[in-house]
Amino acid sequence: MTGLAQYWPLIPLALWLTVSLLSCLAVAATLHRLRFNYWRPVGRPAIALIIPVRGVSPNLPALWKALRKQKHQNFRVLFAVESPDDPAYGTLAALIGRAKRPRTEIVVAGRAKNEGQKVHNQLAALSRIRPRDSIVVFADADILPTRAWLADIVDLVRRRKALIVSGYRWMVPDDRRLSTAVACAINDAMASTTRPSRLCMAWGGTMALRYEALTRIGIRRWLKGSLNDDLQLTRAAHAKGSGIHSPPHMLIQSPVSFDWRDFLAFGHRQYVQLRIYAPAHWALGVVTYTIPIIGWLTAIPLAWAGDYFAIGALAAAFVMQQVRASLRLRIPRKLWREETDRPVALLDRWATPALVVLNAFLIWSALFSRKIYWGGRLYRIEAPQRVRILSDAPDRDAG
């Protein structure tokens, strides 16, 4: 027994290297799938684009400009706000002005009482959807889509059997703060990994489905009383036996700016929702980000003592870290012909252990928490479709 016990460190080291190898292969698969030209004309079906807005995002003018330049022009936009007193209402009215294209409406939803304000705004906009809207697209106000964005969505929705087609955010820094660069490096590491359809989740920044799918999944029934929109739609699709189709070329740039407090609140909010609405995915995140930490804690003292297995594991993990970082640099080049912001690239290449520890901390912080601060309000998630609004102006994010 004693002889076997001396080999126990091989277990965490092997698990760590397995996770590292799988993450390398996932990024390589993403890059490989970006070689193909996915878009092709498939007609001009009518699109209803729902964008909930709360407050004035610095990105709003850029989003409006991007919408006006879309290749697919047969669409109308439903901006959904809480009230005319929301600063977003006046900003949107000024942006839209007398523009004839795209057709645009500002939907006033009223104050949410039984669900998150974002979901409440979406439900108000859904009441304006008609059968002539062949495809319904949900988007966030902080995205910066390319000209082919809606054309790609039309192509994917009409060709795929999945009920929901989704993109995912690729964060780009909108300032030079370290906190922003860290947020981008953590997010983009997750965004660059290809997943099977059954493991993909819809993302509210870009998710689309046919009009008939709205009725098929009973979208209002799933959103009513919920704080979350995209994870609820993921649950609805899985309940109908469908995965989420989220191809790598549907990564969408999302300019962000975080101080440390905002970043930690954002990360905590994301993982609390993930634990409550998609607990299996949260548990997978726990495993994926905890194993490398155990691997480092096992390998470093053994390597210091001269253990060749530990030294080899550290060297192999470092090589795979460099391979991942190099592959990830090529993704924005292929998608947008842009280079990764230098601080983000340096963090991705040289600060992986710190990024993993920070992300693991955020994941674990959601273990017992049901309170999140979002859009100026403090919510408590009692159940996936039972939410209480605790306060309109808390001092800080609550755990």
Residue 54: pLDDT over 50: yes
For the stretch 238-255, pLDDT in tens is 999 888 999 999 999 999
| Chain segment 30-41, per-residue pLDDT in tens | 999 886 555 555
Task: Check residue 195 and give its pLDDT.
Answer: 80
Asked if residue 5 has pLDDT above 60, the reply is no
Nearest residue to 97 via CA among 136, 130, 49, 65: 65
- Domain edges within the chain: 8-31+281-367, 38-262
Q: How far apart (Å, rounded) are the C-alpha atoms in residues 340 and 82? A: 36
| Span 111-136, pLDDT tens digits | 999 899 999 999 999 999 999 999 99
Q: How confident is the model at residue 162 (pLDDT cuts 50, 70, 90)?
A: confident
Q: Which CATH superfamily is domain 38-262 in?
A: Spore Coat Polysaccharide Biosynthesis Protein SpsA; Chain A (3.90.550.10)
Structure token digits, residue 247: 């191809």
Taking only the tens place, the pLDDT of each residue in 333-361 is 999 999 999 999 999 999 999 999 999 99
Better pLDDT: 7 or 81: 81
- Residue 160 confidence (pLDDT) above 80: no
| Closest residue by Cα to residue 248 from 188, 208, 288, 186 | 188
pLDDT at residue 397 is higher than 60: no
What pLDDT sits at residue 10?
86
Contact 235, 244 (CB under 8 A): no
Q: Which long-range contacts (CB under 8 A, 24 or more apart) does 37-44 make?
A: 38/152, 38/155, 38/156, 38/247, 38/249, 39/148, 39/151, 39/152, 39/155, 40/155, 41/151, 42/154, 42/155, 42/158, 42/159, 43/154, 43/158, 44/72, 44/73, 44/74
Report percent pLDDT > 90 for the chain: 83
Give the mean pLDDT of the chain. Answer: 92
Residues ≥6 apart with Cβ < 8 Å to 106: 79, 80, 81, 89, 92, 93, 96
> What pLDDT digit, counting tens, does each position of 189-238 carry?
999 998 877 789 999 999 999 999 998 999 999 999 999 999 999 999 99
